[in-house]
Chain A
Amino acid sequence: MARFKQKLSGLLPVIGLLVVFAIFTAAGGSKFLSGRNLNLILNQSFTVMVVAIGVTMIHAHGGIDFSVGAVLALSEMLAALAYKQTGAPVVLIVVTVLVAVICGLITGMITVKLRIPPFISSLCMQFACRGIVNTVLQARSIGVTEIKEPGLGVKLPVLIGLAVIVFCILEFTKIGKYNKAIGENIKAAKSSGVNVDIYRIAAYLICGVAIGIAAYFDLLRNGVMSTNVGYGLEMRVIIAVVLGGLSLSGGYTATMKSAVVGSLLIIIIINGLTIVGVPNTYTGIIQGIIFLFVILFTYKRDRLGLLPR
């Protein structure tokens, strides 16, 4: 029975996904199920999903990253500028990944070496990146319209490839296993010989690579770089992984499945609401409410919950 319950709670996000999908199919009908809309859903989920996949590494050790949207913006901007200078398309992917990895390294170092809580250090990173972007761009935008946006034929394999790679890192390598152990019980990880500093920083680096990849495709999709790129991405990503069943305190609940399923869930909810006619301005509120509910469900808030069981 206990085991059945355990299984069931693991499947809950998937069931949720199916239910949400069914509801919007019923409510939105052909409009929701149209090829164009499904295509849109995949495109919209792409950024969230790629970043969520990377961030899972950080959540695994109990960290959190509020800087992903701003880092995405900074890497897009620097890549666009570098492209304008050189005119070589390959510069785009090199610069986005490089910038995001460096940002990850800095956030990771600050968090781990200076022992600053990750939500503070990543908020600082967010302000810093946004600050640079706003200063450089002012109200301008940079266009990179010459390069055609890669279609789903490219994006899907990239997405699947990345998911598989990070899945393998998470499940079959020391980096993944150590990060989960750190999230579960950092003292036990230390006394088992895990170098907790290095492996936490490694998680930030992997997340940086994912953000860089997301930035590249996001830039090509939009065709221009402006200051509002990546706004609200961090919240959407956090809601996604939590909806997918990951515990924010870290540990062995960190799975690839939560990133993938959760991202689809949140995007389908946003998309579906738009289709059935809910004004765009409300979706923010709705996301907030969903987040609150998931947290209420997953956190033990009752004081009596502290009593031995």
Chain B
Amino acid sequence: MSEVLLSVHKINKQFGPTTALRDVDFTLCRGEVHGLIGENGSGKSTLTSIIAGIRGADSGEMFKEGNPYKPASVVEAQNLGVAMIVQEMGTAPDILVAENIFLGKEKRYSRFGLVSKKALNKAAADALGKIGAGAIPAGAPTFKLNPEDRKLVELAKAMYEEPDVLIIDETTTALSNDGRKLLYNAVEKMQSEDKGVIFISHDLEELMSVCTIMTVLRDGDIIGTLTKDEFDESVIKSMMVGRELTGNYYRNDYDGVRGEEAVLRAEHLTGAEMVEDVSFELHAGEILGFGGLANGGIHELGRLLFGIDSAIVGSVTLADGTHIKDASTAVKNHMGYVSKNRDEEAIMLNASIRNNVVLPSLSKLVKGGLVAGGREKALTDKAICSLEVKCQSMEQLTRYLSGGNKQKVVFGKWLGNDSEILILDCPTRGVDVGVKQSMYRLMYDLKLSGCAIVLISEELAELIGMSDRLYILKNGKINGEFARSPELTEQDVIHAMI
């Protein structure tokens, strides 16, 4: 065994009635890429955020290279060689990219009390270049970047300090293939320099290939640690959930039946960015998949279909001839949309779970002009139960939920809404395998009940597993169509992507 880099001992953390961590012991050695896995709300982010100085533990001790380690802030942790890429947006939108990279450390670039913009921008460009993301403009306001680039800014920020310990919390799902490469490069670099990485993800395959060792958490307890030769998918899964996972993960029918009626028609759809001349029909009772590289236009297509962005050319029409010109028309006509950009576009962080879940359904809950509280509660209860949202109560603010549970809330918004057409952009992002399975089940049930679903995803396995038909977009254009079939493999599909 190599030298211990960081160890935590008997860490406890309580949030009100919730025990997030219970007597947790955890050790990170030099040269390790240490995976952390566990269900949503099992305490992964809480543990790593304590290590990164974002919050304090209630009790317990930490040691870094044998010395007591107790960072009071993120900046202090960074100075002590621990950097973290958080699960949420870790960059502030209203300041420059460069300012984000050196947040709290501007003094280095100041003379006579004034920060030199030029020096700051140059250092930031340098930081971005180091991780291979030199294309991101250091002097731009951060909100102008897309979510993926903002994550890369965080990576650049973390790596610039040349940390001993790099923590990556559920970041890969926010990145496209190119972005992931940069992330994995950074991980490799850390490993080759004999430093340590803590890697959080819900993608078992990814974890098994990236990590050298893996620790499983469940409900705030450490269940066990596995070395590379002990990695086994079903063992890890059952350690996570505490029971065997049974049943189908995706669906096991292959006839690809769908309704007669085309409920939505896109004609020559062309958006301001990316999407170019896309035409298709979506039928009732059909799950229509859209895949491709992240910058291939799939996410933009979702926004166009739902009317959030407007088309330059072409149109989206429903069976009765209604043009979808904006999102409120879409919802009025029983459409629903899960955005990939959750924290900015889909969830109200300072509102309760209840207020989030009922928002799209309020029109249906009104009686005599007033919204009935009882119906709100019933609707929210249903969403919380069917998706197993881990929360204290439905009045809890969503900002206090774990990342995956936030995603469940966003998905839950459209469950009680009687939607007939759902546009789901990466709906299972950041949720654990157990809940993913229930989400697939829910989608399948919706399909059987006649609902039409557009499933946009970057995960090919999910697309192939769930879609009745699958379109691949490349540079904004449809570059391949695949019918549902047991023979369809990822290789076939990748061909159309690149």
Residues of A within 8 A of B (CB): 1-3, 168, 172-174, 177-178, 180-181, 184-185, 187-195, 251-253, 303-304, 306-309
A1 to B103, CA, bound (A): 30
Q: Known contacts A3-B16, A195-B328; is A185 also within 8 Å of B347 by CB?
A: yes
Q: Which residue of B lies closest to A6 (CB)?
A: B397
Task: State in angstroms the CA–CA spacing of A236 and B194 once bound together.
Answer: 62
Query: Which of the residues B16, B75, B86, B355 comes within 8 Å of A304, measured between beta carbons?
Result: B75
Residues facing A in B380-414 (CB within 8 A) are: 400, 413
Chain B residue contacts of A3, Cβ below 8 A: 16
Nearest CB to that of B344 among chain A residues?
Answer: A187
- B370: contacting residue among A168, A187, A189, A309, CB under 8 A: A168
Tell me the minimal C-beta distance from B133 to chain A in angstroms: 20
Q: How far is the CB of B341 from chain A (nearest CB, A)?
A: 8
A36 to B349, CA, bound (A): 47
Min CB–CB distance A23 → chain B (angstroms): 33
Of B283-291, B313-321, B329-337, B430-438, the one with at least 4 CB within 8 A of chain A? B329-337
CB distance from B274 to the nearest CB of A (A): 19
Residue numbers in B under 8 Å from A172 (CB-CB) = 370-371, 373
- State whether A307 and B75 are in contact (beta carbons under 8 Å apart), knowing that A177-B362, A177-B371, A193-B330 are contacts in the complex: yes
CB distance B348 to A188 under 8 Å? yes
Chain B residues in 8 Å Cβ range of A191: 306, 308, 327, 337, 339, 345-346
- Which residues of A lie under 8 Å from residue B351 when comparing CB positions? 180-181, 184, 251-252
The answer to whether the Cβ of B224 comes within 8 Å of any Cβ in the partner chain is: no
For this complex, into which size category does the number of interface residues on chain B fall?
Answer: 35 or more
Which interface residue of B331, B348, B362, B370 has the most chain A CB atoms within 10 A? B348
B371 cross-chain contacts in A, Cβ below 8 A: 172-174, 177
In the complex, per-residue mask of B303-315: 1 if CB is within 8 Å of any chain A CB, else 0: 0001010000000
Contact, CB under 8 Å: B54 / A184: no
Q: With the chains together, A180 CA to B413 CA distance in Å?
A: 17
* 8 Å CB contact of A192 from B103, B106, B400, B413: B413
B68 at the interface (CB under 8 A from A): no
Contacts of A195 in B (CB 8 A): 326, 328
B79 contacts the other chain (Cβ, under 8 Å)? no
B interface list, Cβ under 8 A from A: 15-16, 49, 54-55, 73-75, 86, 88, 90, 92, 95, 103-104, 106, 306, 308, 326-328, 330-332, 337, 339, 344-352, 355-356, 359-360, 362-363, 366, 369-371, 373, 400, 413
* Shortest Cβ distance from A251 into B: residue: B350
The smallest beta-carbon distance between A242 and chain B, in angstroms, is 17
Interface core residue of A180, A193, A253 (most chain B CB under 10 Å) = A193
- The closest CB in chain A to the CB of B303 belongs to A191
21 contacts between A and B (CB under 8 A): A2-B400, A177-B355, A177-B362, A181-B348, A185-B345, A188-B344, A188-B345, A188-B346, A188-B356, A191-B306, A191-B346, A193-B330, A193-B360, A195-B326, A251-B350, A252-B352, A306-B95, A307-B73, A307-B103, A308-B54, A309-B55
In chain A, what residue has the closest Cβ to B371? A172
A24 CB, min distance to chain B CBs, angstroms: 34
The reply to whether B362 and A185 form a contact with Cβ atoms under 8 Å apart is no
Q: Closest chain A residue to B104 by CB distance? A: A304
B328 touches A184 (CB 8 A): no
Cβ contacts under 8 Å, B74 to chain A: 307-308
CA distance A279 to B479 in the complex (A): 78
11 further contact pairs, Cβ within 8 A, besides A191-B327, A193-B330, A253-B350: A168-B370, A172-B370, A172-B373, A188-B346, A191-B337, A192-B413, A193-B327, A194-B328, A195-B328, A252-B352, A252-B355
Which residue of chain A lies nearest to B94 when distances are taken between CB atoms in the complex?
A306
Return A175 CB to nearest CB of chain B, in Å. Answer: 10
Task: With CB as the reference atom, state the residue of chain A lying closest to B372.
Answer: A172
B350/A189 in contact, CB under 8 A = no
Residue of B nearest to A189 (CB): B359
List of A residues within 8 angstroms of B16 by Cβ: 1-3
Q: Determine whether the beta carbon of A303 is less than 8 Å from that of B369.
A: no
A182 shortest CB reach to chain B, Å: 10
On whether the beta carbons of B369 and A173 are closer than 8 Å, the reply is yes
**A188 partner, pick from B73, B104, B347, B369, beta carbons under 8 A:** B347
Contact B103 A194 (CB under 8 A): no
B104 near A307 with CB under 8 A, answer: yes
Cβ–Cβ < 8 Å partners of A251 in chain B: 348, 350-351
Complex Cα distance, B351 from A253, in Å, reads 9
In Å, the complex CA distance between A304 and B88 comes to 17
A1 and B16 CA atoms in complex are apart in Å by 6
Chain A residues with Cβ under 8 A from B306's Cβ? 191
A272 to B366, CA, bound (A): 45
A168 — nearest CB in chain B belongs to which residue?
B370
CB nearest neighbor in A for B373: A172
Chain A residues near B103 (CB-CB < 8 A): 303-304, 306-307
A252 → B minimal CB distance (Å): 5
Residue pair A185, B327 in contact (C-beta under 8 Å): no
| Closest Cβ neighbor of A304 among chain B residues | B104
Q: Closest approach, in angstroms, between the C-beta of A230 and any C-beta of chain B?
A: 32
Enumerate chain A residues within 8 angstroms of B328, measured Cβ to Cβ: 190, 193-195
Compute how far the CA of A178 lies from the CA of B363 in the bound complex, rounded to whole angstroms. 11
A192 cross-chain contacts in B, Cβ below 8 A: 327, 331, 359-360, 413
Chain A contacts of B346 at CB under 8 A?
188, 191
Contacts of A181 in B (CB 8 A): 348, 351, 355, 359
Distance, CA A55 to CA B95, complexed state (A): 30
Chain A residues, CB < 8 A from B369: 173
Contact assessment for A308 and B88 in the assembled complex, using a CB-CB cutoff below 8 Å: yes
Please give me the residue from chain B that is nearest to A305 by CB atom: B92
Instruction: Provide the residues of chain A in CB contact with B349, threshold 8 Å.
Output: 184-185
Would A178 and B362 count as touching, CB distance under 8 A?
yes
- B106, B330, B370: the one contacting A173 at CB < 8 Å is B370
Q: Which residue of B lies closest to A4 (CB)?
A: B16
The minimal Cβ–Cβ distance linking A195 to chain B, given in whole angstroms, is 4
Q: In the complex, which residue of chain A has the Cβ closest to the Cβ of B346?
A: A188
